[in-house]
Amino acid sequence: MGAFTSFYKPILLSILVLALFVVAWMVCAICLFPFFEHAHIHPVQEPIPSLFPVLVISPKANGEEYKGEVLYHKNLEEYLAENPDYTLLVPEQYEQSIREDIKQRCRSRRDDHNIDSPDPWRADFKVERLPDGRQKLEVSRTHTGDLVNVGWYDASGKEFVPLQYKAYTAGIGIGVGMVSLVVTMLLFPVARRFLHYVIRRYREGGRGECHGEG
């Protein structure tokens, strides 16, 4: 039994150390990701990015309800010319129905990977209503599953002022993974030594208490 234990103990310890390293790597990546993501948020300058997303609201055929389209800026001018009754403000009473209609048309709902489709892969929006009647919107639209594409802007009727823009692909995950791997490799030995120190002090303290009682 002693030979069996002595043979497998180093293997089990190695597996444990490897598992702890992987967990530390994942935790490090999760902690670093917000910093990488924030680095991709930029103020909007002229020219407005072609994929900057804008939410356009227009009346449906019955004239009593509204529909919403999340468009890329490059397609905005043509759409507005075809829908002169548009508004960039989201009617409060129709906000939820407009959001649900947009989500229902997202290709991710039906696993449709045709990037030539007019429907987005994903699209959504958030609205903050300002006291002066303007609205601050956060709008997202992507045509593929590996793209993050978000725009922030102020809207007032038929005008909007771009504020910030965030866009990146899934490749950011590779960068985060590599950096977090390096950080983990640098910090993990220090963490191991500290853990061994804590365990040793704990054991020494326990033995000291036992001797004191004796």
* Predicted local distance difference test score (pLDDT) of residue 145: 81
Q: pLDDT tens digits for 12-54?
A: 767 777 777 788 778 877 877 777 777 778 999 889 999 999 9
Q: What is the mean pLDDT of the chain?
A: 82
40 residue type, one letter: H
pLDDT at 136 over 60: yes
Enumerate long-range contacts of 199-206, CB under 8 Å, 24 or more apart: none
* Predicted local distance difference test score (pLDDT) of residue 35: 72
CA distances from 82 to 76, 78, 91 (A): 10, 6, 21
Max mean pLDDT among 29-33, 138-142, 194-198 falls in 138-142
Residue of 204 and 167 predicted with greater confidence: 167
Max mean pLDDT among 120-134, 166-180, 193-207 falls in 120-134
pTM, full prediction: 0.71
| DSSP code for 46 | S
Enumerate long-range contacts of 105-111, CB under 8 Å, 24 or more apart: 108/145
Q: Hey, how many other C-beta atoms are within 10 angstroms of the C-beta on 25?
A: 17
Domain positions in the chain: 2-38+172-200, 41-169
Q: How many residues does the chain have?
A: 214
Residue of 147 and 135 predicted with greater confidence: 135
Residue pair 123/137 in contact (Cβ under 8 Å)? The answer is no
SS3 string, 87-138, reads ECCCCHHHHHHHHHHHHHCCHHHCCCCCCCCCCCCEEEEEEEECCCCCEEEE
The three-class DSSP label of residue 85 is coil
% of residues, the chain, pLDDT over 90: 42
Longest dimension (CA), the chain: 92
* Predicted local distance difference test score (pLDDT) of residue 23: 81
Given the structure tokens 């020219």, which residue do they identify?
47
Phi, psi of 43 (to 5 degrees): -60, 145
| DSSP code for 39 | T
Identify any residues that bridge with 156 across adjacent strands, giving them in sequence order.
159
